């Protein structure tokens, strides 16, 4: 029986770009140069500083872009956060089980945030939008990985769900994981 994590895991329905936390996790793509969904919202509300920082990453250690399952931090620009942690989720596949890659997104984003000293981290439901991952499975994977991996200095992990369906699936997953 693993000792219960000292990290509070919370759920909120809302817009991740309006959260006041230390680190906001972005559901990016490998180009790191923006997109739709969460990615578009973060760049829109966070401002050009974030894209400029992403461009610097592409011009240096991420010349080929960010691989699926990896995570890297930049400034949060105008967002009420200290950092954005960009991670690239796997695209849903009917024929290939890419769960390990989705787990890696949560694990690596937590590692990067913890290394920066973040105490509060907001996650979207990675891969469950444009990348087509079923919400129930995406929620179970997210909750299982965060409960297993989140550790000090992180004190709160907040899942920010964009709609009632997502919130319901995360609530189910969190209740099941805790019983």
Q: What residues contact 125, with CB distance under 8 A and at least 6 apart?
A: 135, 138, 139, 142, 159, 161, 162, 166, 170
Q: Which of 74, 104, 127, 145 binds ligand APR (CB under 6 A)?
A: 127
How far is residue 88's CA from residue 115's CA, in Å, rounded to a whole number?
A: 19
Q: Which of 7, 25, 38, 53 binds ligand APR (CB under 6 A)?
A: 38
What does the per-residue mask of binding to ligand APR show for 74-103, with x meaning CB under 6 A?
A: ---------------x--------------
Tokens of 167: 């919130």
Q: Which of 70, 128, 141, 145 binds ligand APR (CB under 6 A)?
A: 128
**Residue 39 is among the residues annotated as catalytic for this protein:** yes
The answer to whether 53 and 32 have CB atoms below 8 angstroms apart is no
Q: Nearest-5° angle of CA 94, CA 98, CA 103?
A: 140
Q: Is residue 51 at the binding interface for ligand APR, with CB under 6 A as the rule?
A: no
Dihedral angle computed from the Cα positions of residues 6, 178, 167 and 161, in that order, rounded to the nearest 10 degrees: 30
Range in contact with ligand APR (rule: CB under 6 A) among 25-33, 76-84, 94-102, 141-149: 25-33
In the complex with ligand APR, which residue's Cβ is closer, 33 or 177?
Answer: 33
Q: Is residue 105 at the binding interface for ligand APR, with CB under 6 A as the rule?
A: no
Residues near ligand APR, by CB under 6 A: 15-17, 27-29, 35-41, 89, 124-131, 160, 162, 166
């Amino acid at each position: 029986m693993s000792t219960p994590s000292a990290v509070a895991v919370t759920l909120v329905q809302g817009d991740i770009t309006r959260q006041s936390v230390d680190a906001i996790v972005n559901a990016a793509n490998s180009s790191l140069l923006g997109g739709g969904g969460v990615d578009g919202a973060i760049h829109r509300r966070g401002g050009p500083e974030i894209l400029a920082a992403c461009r610097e990453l592409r011009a240096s250690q991420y010349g080929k872009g960010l691989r699926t399952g990896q995570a890297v931090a930049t400034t949060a620009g105008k967002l009420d956060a200290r950092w954005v942690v960009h991670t690239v989720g796997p695209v849903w596949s009917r024929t290939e089980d890419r769960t390990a890659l989705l787990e890696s997104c949560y694990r690596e984003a937590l590692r990067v945030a913890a290394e920066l000293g973040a105490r509060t981290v907001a996650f979207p439901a990675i891969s469950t939008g444009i990348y087509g991952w079923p919400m129930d499975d995406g929620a179970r994977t997210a909750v299982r990985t965060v409960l297993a991996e989140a550790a000090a200095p992180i004190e709160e992990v907040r899942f920010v769900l964009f709609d009632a369906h997502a919130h319901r699936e995360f609530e189910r997953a969190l209740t099941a994981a805790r019983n």
